[in-house]
Structure 1
Amino acid sequence: MAHWFHRNPLKATAPVSFNLYGVASTPAANKICNELRTARAHLLEMFTDVTCTPELMKNASDAYFCLLQGFISSLDGTSQENKLRFIQNFKWTDTLQGNSPSSQQDAVFELVSMAFNVAVWHSKFSCRLAGKENITEDEAKDVHRSLKVAAGIFKHIKEVHLPRLITPAEKGRDLEPRVLDAYMIQSQAEAQEVTIARAIELKHSAALIAALSYETANFYQRADHSLNTLDPECSSKWRKYLQLKQHFYMAYAFCYHGNTLLASDKCGEAIRSLQEAEKCYSRSEAVCKEYRQTRGPGTTARPSEQMFFTRLGVLVRTTLEKCQRENGFIYFHKVPAEPPQLELKASYGLAEPADFLLPPPSDQYSPEVYAAFHLTKGDKAKPKQEEEVKPVKEPDLKPQKDSGCSVS
């Protein structure tokens, strides 16, 4: 597998005590508050625990979300607003905006912010696993699955919960629709990269690999375009990464399309397709350098040094040389001035976001317990002083040597 993923940092958040200062009037109500505090703290710890697995992450996030749902969902299943929704303040930073936090007194804001971090964790888990040497088939499936889970969470946030926020996201913040789109589409594209690596390893048809590569390049272009109106200071590095991936997979598409044309005895068109592959590959090399030199949030990958990257350059060059030799000995076809129009549609291997479902509210929220929260009492959990948001100390995981795109 290839290790050349760009990853933006995790969101950071201020501690939340859920001390409702007299609002929770019974031991059962106080027990919920205590469990909310504990479950939230545990989930935040899981984000930076290198031993955490998708199963452990799901258990930790479900444990918190089922308790938090009691502050959001209506107990009787109606559209009536939950009286606890606006009782607690939450503060979060953004993955692109550094340490400048946003604050909302809204449990839905907490839900989408925490779910966003779960999705980012899945993308980072896939990155860490894909960077291993001699990755197994099962591990490759885990990478593929985690990327689709991440895409599904971003999609769910945008479609289901974003419209519920009282205060819309500010420009360039994580919860702005175009930022969520970029994260979702990148996750889908990276999942398709796993499929392409698998298809190459198992020597599937050149037509299928070309089509998958073309679809993947288009995904990266869409992700890049969704960020084109953001502040360059916070988005340029990410956008450079998306652009180099787009050019890289267009090179793949033209390379394998050239193979398909040669197999159909269209040698002149095959040469022109391979020439275009060379151009796309050169563009991706140039953007690699620009990416390395661009400042901004996120880890710095070194794609141009990875075997998965350099192997394509060798493949394009040797395939073009083969086509030119065959044309000189056998076909004598004229090479078209214009590259072939790629109108490729993959029938297999396209990555769709995995369905994401929140757990139902905890069964601790009985009508009696719910009634024990008195909003007219206490001070509605306002903190005594402003809570500090400390940056997340993510583990320093150095990429391992890339052994190519093989799945052992």
Structure 2
Amino acid sequence: MAHWFHRNPLKATAPVSFNYYGVAGSPAANKICNDLRTTRARLLDMFTDITCTPEVMKNATDAYFSLLQSFIVSPDGSTQDNKMRFIQNFKWTDTLQGNAPRHVAQQDMVFELVSMAFNVALWYTKFASRLAGKENITEPEAKDVHRSLKVAAGIFMNLKEMHIPRLITPAEKGRDLEPRVMDTYIIQCQAEAQEVTIARAIELKHKATLIAALAYETANFYQKADHTLNTLEPECSSKWRKYLQLKQHFYMAYAYCYHGQTLLAGDKCGEAIRSLQEAEKCYARAESLCKEYRQTKGPGSTAKPSEQLFFIKLGGLIKNTLEKCQRENGFIYFHKVPAEPPTLELKASYGLAEPVPFELPSLSEQCTPEVYATFDLTRGAKNDKAKPKEEEVKPVKEPDLKPQKDTGCSIS
């Protein structure tokens, strides 16, 4: 299922040296600064390393965040602000600014924490997309896709609820860290995780009622995500919204198709026909939105759902099921086809994707109260007067991955 998911670009950031000569008044304090620099650089490298796995990513993330917290939390466990929290300026781009990225800068270690963790969550979504695009994806790989999307949702949710509210400078409207954007990422991750569940349910030929309910819940997730973005600037959100809309209509088509099968099995042939007719309409709208999506300019990779076997198969299934219902109605039932489509009041009892709770690692053992006491802000960094030139923020060069042969998202 190569190019099945739309992905916004990774956030880019300016290099940070953490050189606090003068302020860091002991070898142990200097070591923390040096380790911050190296663990940050390694984590940034992992974002574009196609061999990186979730285990490697977690280790790299924990290594950096356990040290970064030495400049955020108080070593004595009090609620007071860490004296080092505002010593460094950090500059990051947004994911929705396209080819002319705007920079956001804050002199706050918490801003660095949420920006970096945001990128970690994005990496998990990109890892899931890349893995889902493999030929003949295995069951363990499908589980990794499913879990990675739920992990990403958990990170986004944790940032929104716990850490973004701590920022001294609130997130600007239309930027990554504001509630509308965060909510959309959370909902999209949950919806895409449920797509994996639906593919699995279809593969194992679960009951039509379960598949219809899961598809309906997933379509509603995509609709909610789209509505969350509707007040954002169009140049930032139009392409993303087209993707959310096409997925909504695609899964509504699935819901009506499998609901129609349930109605036919219950000898409600006329209602089944009307349900399949509605599935046809939703599918046609999804096809149309796929074209609109490809033609819409905006940030992010361009998915190609209408070219995927999983997409194409649904069109054939709707057509064949509708023809079967019409034949049965002509020979057996002779039911009148209702003018209105059936109301979908479907609730899935199984398979709904919940975010995996995210927790920061514990504070590094290097960061003791004794070492903390050797940081002296009154002395000032020795290179303050040098006023080094402002570091440039270079766009992240993400790997260009070639699509593989599509297998219709079958799990072998």
Identify the residue that residue 205 of structure 1 maps to in structure 2: 207
Q: Is the 8 A contact 1:151 1:183 kept in 2?
A: yes
Amino acid at match of 1:388: E
Identify the residue that residue 184 of structure 1 maps to in structure 2: 186
| 1:357-377 deviation digits (Å, cap 9, x = unpaired) | 100111111111001000111
Question: Which deviates further from its counterpart, 71-80 or 149-158?
Answer: 71-80
Distance 1:381 1:354 in 2: 43
Shift in CA distance, 310/328, structure 1 to aligned 2, threshold 3 Å: same
Identify the residue that residue 46 of structure 1 maps to in structure 2: 46
| 1:192-212 deviation digits (Å, cap 9, x = unpaired) | 000000000000000000000
Amino acid at match of 1:89: N
Distance 1:238 1:200 in 2: 27
Identify the residue that residue 69 of structure 2 maps to in structure 1: 69
The DSSP-based 3-state class of the residue aligned with 2:349 is coil
The DSSP-based 3-state class of the residue aligned with 1:113 is helix
The one of 292, 295, 299 aligned to 1:293: 295
Shift of 1:174: 0.6
| 1:93-146 deviation digits (Å, cap 9, x = unpaired) | 010024211000000000000000000000000000000010000000000010
Identify the residue that residue 356 of structure 1 maps to in structure 2: 358
Q: Is the 8 A contact 1:87 1:381 kept in 2?
A: no
Distance 1:378 1:75 in 2: 21
Shift in CA distance, 159/14, structure 1 to aligned 2, threshold 3 Å: same
Identify the residue that residue 376 of structure 2 maps to in structure 1: 374
The DSSP-based 3-state class of the residue aligned with 1:248 is helix
Shift in CA distance, 42/332, structure 1 to aligned 2, threshold 3 Å: same
Distance 1:281 1:309 in 2: 9
The one of 389, 394, 405 aligned to 1:401: 405
Identify the residue that residue 155 of structure 1 maps to in structure 2: 157
Shift of 1:385: 1.7
Distance 2:126 2:355 in 1: 16
Q: Is the 8 A contact 2:3 2:302 kept in 1?
A: no
Distance 1:371 1:403 in 2: 59
Distance 1:76 1:248 in 2: 54
Distance 1:186 1:400 in 2: 24
| 1:201-232 deviation digits (Å, cap 9, x = unpaired) | 00000000000000000000111111111111
Identify the residue that residue 24 of structure 2 maps to in structure 1: 24
Question: Which deviates further from its counterpart, 394-403 or 342-351?
Answer: 394-403
Identify the residue that residue 266 of structure 2 maps to in structure 1: 264
| 1:264-317 deviation digits (Å, cap 9, x = unpaired) | 000000000000000000000000000010000011111111101010000001
Q: Is the 8 A contact 1:2 1:307 kept in 2?
A: no
Shift of 1:379: 4.1
Amino acid at match of 1:190: E
Distance 2:60 2:348 in 1: 37
Question: Which deviates further from its counterpart, 334-343 or 372-381?
Answer: 372-381
Aligned positions of 1:8-407 closer than 5 A:
8-98=8-98, 99-379=101-381, 384-407=388-411
Shift in CA distance, 385/145, structure 1 to aligned 2, threshold 3 Å: same
Distance 1:380 1:285 in 2: 62
Shift of 1:21: 2.8
Q: Is the 8 A contact 2:194 2:353 kept in 1?
A: yes
Amino acid at match of 2:5: F
Shift in CA distance, 311/7, structure 1 to aligned 2, threshold 3 Å: same
Q: Give the structure-1-normalised TM-score.
A: 0.98
Distance 2:166 2:309 in 1: 45
Shift of 1:74: 1.8
Q: Give the structure-2-normalised TM-score.
A: 0.98
Distance 2:112 2:200 in 1: 38
Q: Is the 8 A contact 1:21 1:380 kept in 2?
A: yes
Q: Is the 8 A contact 1:18 1:381 kept in 2?
A: no
Identify the residue that residue 4 of structure 2 maps to in structure 1: 4
Distance 1:192 1:303 in 2: 16
The DSSP-based 3-state class of the residue aligned with 2:259 is helix
Distance 1:63 1:405 in 2: 35
User: What do you get for the CA RMSD once the two structures are aligned?
Assistant: 1.1
Distance 2:259 2:19 in 1: 62
Q: Percent identity, aligned pairs only?
A: 80
| 1:222-272 deviation digits (Å, cap 9, x = unpaired) | 111111111110110000000000000000000000000000000000000
Amino acid at match of 2:360: L
Q: Is the 8 A contact 1:24 1:372 kept in 2?
A: yes
Distance 1:170 1:11 in 2: 16
Q: Is the 8 A contact 1:97 1:173 kept in 2?
A: no
The DSSP-based 3-state class of the residue aligned with 2:221 is helix
Shift of 1:401: 2.0
Q: Is the 8 A contact 2:225 2:244 kept in 1?
A: yes
